[in-house]
Structure 1
Amino acid sequence: MKYAKTKEVLNQLVADLSQMSMVIHQTHWYMRGEGFLTLHPMMDDFMDDVNDQLDVVSERLITLDGAPYSTLQEMADHTEITDEPGNWDHSMQERLAILVKDYRYLADLYQKGIEVSGEEGDDATQDIFIGFKAATEKRIWMIQAHLGKAPEIDA
């Protein structure tokens, strides 16, 4: 099957970006405290970015004659990003640290996509993966800076 590994990574991203959108929503909904007025609208930008990536990834998968996951059950069954019920127990710093962890996972998955799409000769998808990996690393840097830490992109 042509581009089999690339399509596998694309579909993994469909599940994981869908889950990441919910993790960001939860951060958005369950935030309180110092920095709220800045961070709350920033989460809207983060959600928009992840949803845009999800659309591009899904459409690329369809372009390659793939079938993106399209039910909540499929997303839940295939995502590697963990979730937990919403609560008020986490500080904003803890919530941001969760986002960093999940963005790191996505950056690693984009790297895997870069590698497999390169092996399979799919330059167009590789270009998508490269761009989204760079954007994801920028998000990591921004959140880490807010937390008073270095980007630690290779962490």
Structure 2
Amino acid sequence: MNTTILGLDKQKSENLVISLNSLLSNFQVYYQSLRGLHWNIKGKSFFELHVKFEEFYTDSQEKVDLIAERILTLGGTPLHTFEDYAKLAKVPVGRNITNGTEAVTLVVKSLSELLKIERVILDESDEANDEGTNSMMSDFIAEQEKTIWMLNAWLN
């Protein structure tokens, strides 16, 4: 039998696990950058951005858990070491950023990179008839597109 207990093609599920682990790794790096932005932001937008970055990292932390649980649901093992995350991360890393414009630009670039990965997973999950992963990616994409629009409005 070439299907999982969920009725999905085993090979396609294994490929999805690899892609989801890449997304997990990128979200973990993004999360840590958001923590740094939250801690280090300065200037006239401090109060506004300090709260916003906390909102973003709390949301990212929830998404990390959802992604890891989806990997487990598909029969895989979620990556959980910083070494693994660093190898797979494509999102830019923010280091000692205190300027609001620079910080918000980093978040936009990070979300854009996450969207690229999520769209690949969306295609893979669609091809695998994996509605659980497909639905999760659709929700992530819609939310992040709106966030990018709002952050770009703030930047302009």
The two structures have a TM-score, normalised by structure 2, of 0.88
Which range moved further: 41-50 or 136-145?
Answer: 136-145
CA distance in 2, matches of 1:5, 1:64: 10
Coordinate RMSD, CA, aligned? 1.3
Query: Which digits, 9 at most, give the CA deviation of each residue in 1:85-140, with x for residues without a partner?
Result: 4254xx21011111100101111111111101011111111000000111111211
1:1-155 equivalences under 5 Å are 1-83=11-93, 85-86=95-96, 88=98, 91-148=99-156
Query: Which digits, 9 at most, give the CA deviation of each residue in 1:17-69, with x for residues without a partner?
Result: 00000111121122111111111011111001111111001100001011111
Distance 1:84 1:147, change over 3 A: closer
Work out the number of aligned pairs and report it. Answer: 146
**Radius of gyration: which is bigger?**
2
Over the matched positions of the two proteins, sequence identity in percent amounts to 26
CA distance in 2, matches of 1:87, 1:93: 10
Is residue 37–residue 97 contact of structure 2 (8 Å, CA) maintained in 1?
Answer: no
Distance 1:84 1:52, change over 3 A: closer
Is residue 94–residue 106 contact of structure 2 (8 Å, CA) maintained in 1?
Answer: no
CA distance in 2, matches of 1:142, 1:84: 20
Is residue 18–residue 54 contact of structure 1 (8 Å, CA) maintained in 2?
Answer: yes
Give structure 2 stretches of 5+ with no counterpart: 1-10
Aligned-partner residue type, residue 31 of structure 1 = I
CA distance in 2, matches of 1:39, 1:82: 19
The two structures have a TM-score, normalised by structure 1, of 0.88
Is residue 37–residue 94 contact of structure 2 (8 Å, CA) maintained in 1?
Answer: no
CA distance in 2, matches of 1:74, 1:139: 27
Give structure 1 stretches of 5+ with no counterpart: 149-155
